[in-house]
Amino acid sequence: MILKPIISVIVPVHNTVEYLPKCVESIRNQSLKEIEIILVDNLSTDGSSDVCDEYALVDSRIKVLHLSDAGPSIARNAGVKVASASYIGFVDSDDHILPCMYEEMLTALRVNNADLAYCNFCYEYDSGYLEYPFSNSNEVYLRNSNEVVCDIIQEVVSSSACTKLFRKELFEDLLFPEGVFFEDHKTTYRWVAKCKKVVWVDKTLYYYYQRQTSTCHTLDPMKRYDYFLAEYSRLAFIQEHSLFTDIEVVKVNTMIVRNCFMHFKEILLMTKPGEVREQINDMRTKIGKLRSISKRKIDIRCYKRIRKISYFWPIYYFSHFYFKRKEWRP
């Protein structure tokens, strides 16, 4: 008998054939059997596509989508659109999860009548070493959604969609932004903000495999630009919503602005004059708009740097970047 799925688990797949079987098996072997597994292959060339099709033949709970466009957001959104369950989870195709993950998160979510549940994660390395960033009390905590939004913005709680279980309704008017990297960083806190209740399962249930070729470990100029945009969007959100006290908002604004500066600086150090000109000009424009933030709500050193980039750009660029990279000059 085919069980009606309670949870749809969406797995974007792109050239991860070495890790895909372990990932899929960890989902197939969940203690909660009423799941739908949606493998979304987007332009894999390493055999991952065939592995997806083979799994669909041996497990009726598995659906396979083959897309003509590549990108994790495109794959996730395509999975959301065909998902038939009331709850949605995401797993990256090079990671794996504990057998009890979705049963425990679903129970916590239902008992507390919450809209979203999240759990802890650990990092797994090639050597087999596991790094646990959290203390893991194994308790379940009911949390106010605004508090969780604040924690995500301050990077106390991960932005990753993979450690979350969502009510499907949360995606009705907000999907992942397509054509960019770090889509979780840009959107997860917005889904949380739509929730009435959030539950935290304080237990490590998700295992992030640390690949040197993953998106987070290969930051080229365009990826840094996308990260800059994701960080920058948080500043506008903070200004629109009264989430922090006057003292807290100074700390949070300063942290985000410094992150924006860091990615801006790294792009300038990674590229030659004239490269990614459009992106650099856009970042300069956005940094200039930060002058609208009250001086009382940001560290004065950040404010001075904003003014230098806005009003004294040629001098700032040549003194901080051009003359420090001699290989650029004839």
Q: Which CATH superfamily is domain 7-213 in?
A: Spore Coat Polysaccharide Biosynthesis Protein SpsA; Chain A (3.90.550.10)
For 288-302, what is each residue's pLDDT tens digit? 999 999 889 999 999
In eight-state DSSP terms, residue 5 is: P
* Alpha-carbon gap, residue 1 to 5, rounded angstroms: 12
pLDDT at position 325, please? 54
pLDDT at position 328, please? 44
For 15-70, what is each residue's pLDDT tens digit? 999 999 999 999 999 999 999 999 999 999 999 999 999 999 999 999 999 999 88
Asked whether residue 329 carries a pLDDT value surpassing 80, the answer given is no
**Residue 73 near residue 178, CB atoms below 8 Å:** yes
pTM for the whole thing? 0.91
Give Cβ neighbours of residue 130 (< 8 Å, ≥ 6 apart). 122, 123, 124, 207
pLDDT at position 313, please? 84
pLDDT at position 326, please? 44
Domain limits, the chain: 7-213, 219-325
Asked whether residue 162 carries a pLDDT value surpassing 50, the answer given is yes
Average pLDDT taken over every residue of the chain: 92
Asked whether residue 158 carries a pLDDT value surpassing 90, the answer given is yes
pLDDT at position 3, please? 77
Two structure tokens written together for 255: 């942290």
Nearest partner of 197 among 253, 234, 148, 270, judged by Cα: 148
Sort residue 202 into left (φ over 0), alpha (ψ -120 to 50) or beta: beta
pLDDT at position 70, please? 82
Identity at 36, one-letter amino acid code: E
* Alpha-carbon gap, residue 52 to 57, rounded angstroms: 9
Strand (E) or helix (H) holding 309: helix 300-311
